Amino acid sequence: MPRKNTRNTKGRIISAAWKLFYEQGYDETTVEDIVFESETSKGSFYHYFDGKDALLGTLANVFDEKYEELKETIRAIGAEMMDCPLDEVVFEGSQVRRLHSQQAVSLADLSYRAQTSSCRAAQAAATHSSPVSPPPYMVGMAEIELDRLTGHVTVLDYMAVVDCGTPINEALARIQAEGGIVQGIGMTLTENVTYNAKGRPFESSLMQYKLPTRLDMGRLRVEFEPSYEPTGPFGAKSIGEVVINTPPPAIAHAIYRATGVWHRELPITPEQIAMSAMETE
């Protein structure tokens, strides 16, 4: 019994902390808030944790409760199959056994029962949204060739420097960045959706909806400026949307430098560039 109470006290503190982190933010949550929400004491809190920061590494504990919940559900299905009270069965890893007898139900049989003829699902679910989301940073620089007569733009060179915390696998992180940059270039220059009078898109296939490939790209370079993010896994931060968000402003700036016209809508099509260039002449 003491071990169970100890686990419950620690679990209540962790659950309360993550609930508050999500609801009111990590920075706005105090130890006093966590103690009040968990109905424990400061003594209990500091028995398990040095401070609030220590709770950032306890997310796995949140799921421990779900493991217990799943075990209880499995016991309940087993008791139902053996037609006995719940307190007469124990979970033994590979089976549910009835106490003081040889009667048992394997996990295979129990899983089949749960899927076919039981109102209980042998599952437990948990979700989590981090209370902190430190942003990655990225700078992008584009060199283009622009034909003022046709408005056609060719990206000759694109250089990017990314701060995504500590890259855990630098090769994969670089590929992620390169792919996102190419997507961003397509979003900026070629990927357009237009409609006919009946609302049907003209770009109804990839023959019309122009996605850039690596063959359409000039030189593409990605470097990293590592930092260490204490709330991320092994010091890492995200490297998703930031890489696709950077090409539009970089290329729009390059087009401005070539034509003297700012374009503030995407995609920046050759027609728009040629027409705007004519207006400035």
Examine the domain organization and report whether 256 and 191 are in the same domain.
Answer: yes
Do 188 and 108 share a structural domain? no
Q: Is the domain of 32 the same as that of 79? A: yes
| pLDDT tens per residue across all 281 residues of the chain | 344 444 578 888 988 888 888 788 888 899 999 999 999 999 999 999 988 888 877 766 666 777 888 889 999 999 999 999 999 999 998 899 999 888 999 999 988 888 888 777 888 776 666 667 788 999 999 999 999 999 999 999 999 999 999 999 999 999 999 999 999 999 999 999 999 999 999 988 888 888 888 788 889 999 999 998 887 778 889 888 899 999 999 999 999 999 999 999 999 999 999 999 888 77
H/E element, 154: strand 153-163
- Domain hosting residue 188, numbered range: 137-280
Q: For 140, phi and psi rounded to 5 degrees?
A: -125, 140
207/259 Cα distance (integer angstroms)? 29
- Note the pTM of the prediction, 2 decimals: 0.58
Contact 71, 50 (CB under 8 A): no
Q: How far is residue 19's CA from residue 34's CA, in Å, rounded to a whole number? A: 9
DSSP-assigned beta bridge partners for residue 219 = 157
Q: Please check whether residue 27 lies inside any domain of the structure.
A: yes
- 153/143 Cα distance (integer angstroms): 10
* CA 188 to centroid of chain Cα atoms: 24
